[in-house]
Structures are given as C-alpha cells and as structure tokens.
Amino acid sequence: MSLYTPLFHGSSLSDCFSDRALLQGMLDFEAALTRAQASCDMVPREAAAAISACCQAERLDSDALARDAALAGNLAIPLVKQLTAVVRGEDEQAARYVHWGATSQDAIDTGLILQLRAALEQAETQLNRLITALTRQVGDHAASLMPGRTWLQHALPTTYGLKLAGTLDALLRHRARLNEMRPRLLVIQLGGAAGTLASLKAQGPVVIQALARELALGVPDTPWHSQRDRLLEAAGWFAGLAASLGKFAGDFALLMQTEVAEVSEPVAEGRGGSSTMPHKRNPVTCAAILSSTGRIPGLMAALYAAQNQQHERALGGWQAEWETLPQLATLTGGVLDNALTLVEGMQVYPQKMRQNLDITHGLIMAESVTLALAPQMGKARAHHLVERLCHQALDDNQPLAWLLQQDETVSRYLSESQIASLLDPAGATGSADHFLRQVLARSKESL
C-alpha cells in the first residue's frame, strides 16, 4: 500500500519505523550489550569490538529474515542467527559471544524503545513548529469576530483567535506530557529468558547499568517483558495528540462549507480539485487528518487488548504490538505534517465571519438582552419574554431589534440605543481576550 504512504504516513516519523530502522534498533542493542559485558570483563574486548563492527543492518539478508521470522515466531531469532554467521566470518571466537545472556524479547523491546526515542524527537520537532505557527495565527486573529457554535448552531459571538487558542492550549499540554513521559518510557529491556537474568548470575545488575549507559537509556526497576504500560502510555500520547488535531481539522472543514465560507485551506497547484467539477476546492488536508484520526482509536483498542499478557512471556499480546504501535505513530506523524500545512497557510475571511454573525438578525445576541432585563424583571421572566420575541422574529422574518423596540415591557427598561448596544456582537465576547492572552503568554514563554 505504499502509494498511500505520502498521504497518510509521509512524515519523518515513518523513517523511524522503516525495515532498516527496525533491524538497526535490535542490532544497536546487540552491539551495546556486548560492549557493556566487555566493560564488566564478561566478554573479551576484542570480541565486543568485532561484534559491534558487524551490527549493521546492511549486512543482513532482510528477505531471509522475513521468511525465517514466520517460522521462528519473531524477528530476533533469525536476526541473531544471521548476525552470528556474519561475525563468524570475521572472527570465529567472537561469534561465541553474540547475544550473550539475553533473550529475543530483550533485543526486540529495546530496539523498539530506540525507535520510539527517535520518533518522539521527530514528533517534538514537528509539534514545536506547529505551536509556533499556531501562536502567530492566534495573535493575528485575536479580534476576528465570528459566531460561536454549539450543537452546530449559532450560540454566542466568539473570536477566531480564541478558537485557535483552544487548540494551542491543548498542544502545549501534549508537549508537557511528552516531557513527563520520556523518563518512564525510555528504558532498556534486559531480563533474559524469564525475567530473572539468571544467565548473567550475580553480574546481571552491573551489566544492566552498563547497557543503559551505552544506549543512553534509563534503568527500570524490573524487566517489563509482560508489563506493557510504558508502550500504552506512548501510544496514548500519539493518539491524544492526533485527536486534538482531528478536532481542529473537523472544525476547519465545517467552516469551509460553501454556506459558511469563513476559512479555506492553503492554495496550491492541484490541491482540493475535482475530477469533474472545476469550481471545487475540497478540504483535502482536513480529510487526510480525519481519515487518520478515524483509524487511530481502533489501533489504541488493539494495544489495550494486548495488555493482557500471560505470565512472563506473552502469547499474542506482545506480538500484536509490533505493527500496531508503529502504524499509530506514523499516522500521527502524518497528522502533524498535514496540520502544519493547514495552520501555516490557512486563509481566513473575517468579513464573512462578521456577515455570518448577522444572518439571524440579532438573535445571536438575545442572551445579552435577557441579562440586561433580568435585574428589573427577574431572570426567568426576562428569559421567557426574550425567547417569545425570538420565536416571533423567526416566524415573521423580522429583526429582533425592531421587535424589542416595539415591545412595551422591554422599552420600559431599555432605550433604543441600549438595545442597539446590547445587540452589537463586538461587545459580547466576554473574557475571550483574557483567555487568549493567557495561552499566548504561556506559548511564547515556552518557545
């Protein structure tokens, strides 16, 4: 399905989960393991150097590995076999020390952690660029009045800047979660056959520390062969970030509808066209984001189900992670790239936003009239009165301002100029600017 890769998986995160990256992650573990053991005088240093020199993905036959993995049940078993043969061709004595004391899952899990470390670095770079671009757009549209919508209907006025600030606020939290998660996630796996590391006898803890130093990873208190909460947390971070951007893309696409036309995707040759309708400018970037975020919950469900791992080595649950987590991460990378394209080049039409505020002829401002009447009439009575006039405005297709001016009860308390002021959306955004400025301040401080 590589033809769809640029559309859904086209970010730099995909390189972190390529076949080469998968193999190199395990080989980096094998090289670091033998160097760690050499530093503890368990393996001759010459052997460690020879093994490390052979730990290059290009020296393995990936097609044979794929065939043999289908028989072995995992990729590490044929990888170790091939690596041993490569080392033997260079140094027959050194070949004796390949994969010394480790189990297949140690190589696969630690290799995956190395891939995730690289992927999170790429994701953070993308996220920082997105935060920077969104911060600029929030500032540019701080005063762009538009209808706030609840249940897909006009509610009260808001600003496009505040709408964007909500997404920015979420992205800042996702970045904070990333920094909090890293120390828990980025740890080695070395437990041997059953999680006791009995093969290394009393030297196990020393080798663990040395291996962690070699790979610049943390040291877990216990091997985590069948405790997969770390990977679930990483998956949840990717999924949560994608979900926040999916919400943004969904709103953006709704604002692009012909009848709304408050925003538009960036203009580019070939973007959003139709094979039959020359006038179309489809929200194709939004569609790419939403198609990915629609798939991610199913992948998360698979990873939750995979938490049920039997005893000290899983039967199916561990194996289910191998494709699922990389797919989730690379889909999120594509979402990040598409969101950046959207945010950096979005077209915004404040005049159309202002026009849309007026399509209900003042009904969107009915609450402000209710609140102005409430001190004199009581909240319930004022609400009932204004609601009746709103229904009349809809039924008779008349401006709310005119009906308010003609109503004896309303005119008793509010002058024509007061009614006009109450129905002006520019004065009804409440604390929107305050909320927006708080997010901007936090964003700029963090950047």
Q: Which position among 274, 411, 415, 446 bears the catalytic label?
A: 274
CB atoms within 10 A of CB 308: 12
Q: Which two tokens stand for residue 210?
A: 């040395």
Name every residue whose Cβ is closer than 8 Å to that of residue 301 and which is 6 or more positions away in sequence: none
Q: Which two tokens stand for residue 206?
A: 């020393």
Contact (Cβ atoms closer than 8 angstroms) between residue 306 and residue 324? yes
Q: Which two tokens stand for residue 140?
A: 């540019």
- As a whole number of angstroms, the distance between CA 69 and CA 83 comes to 14
Contact (Cβ atoms closer than 8 angstroms) between residue 174 and residue 186? no
- As a whole number of angstroms, the distance between CA 416 and CA 405 comes to 6
Amino acid letter, 58 = E
Q: Which two tokens stand for residue 64?
A: 């044979």
Say whether 417 is catalytic: no
- As a whole number of angstroms, the distance between CA 27 and CA 37 comes to 15
Say whether 313 is catalytic: yes
Q: Which position among 96, 129, 213, 313 bears the catalytic label?
A: 313
Catalytic residues: 274, 313
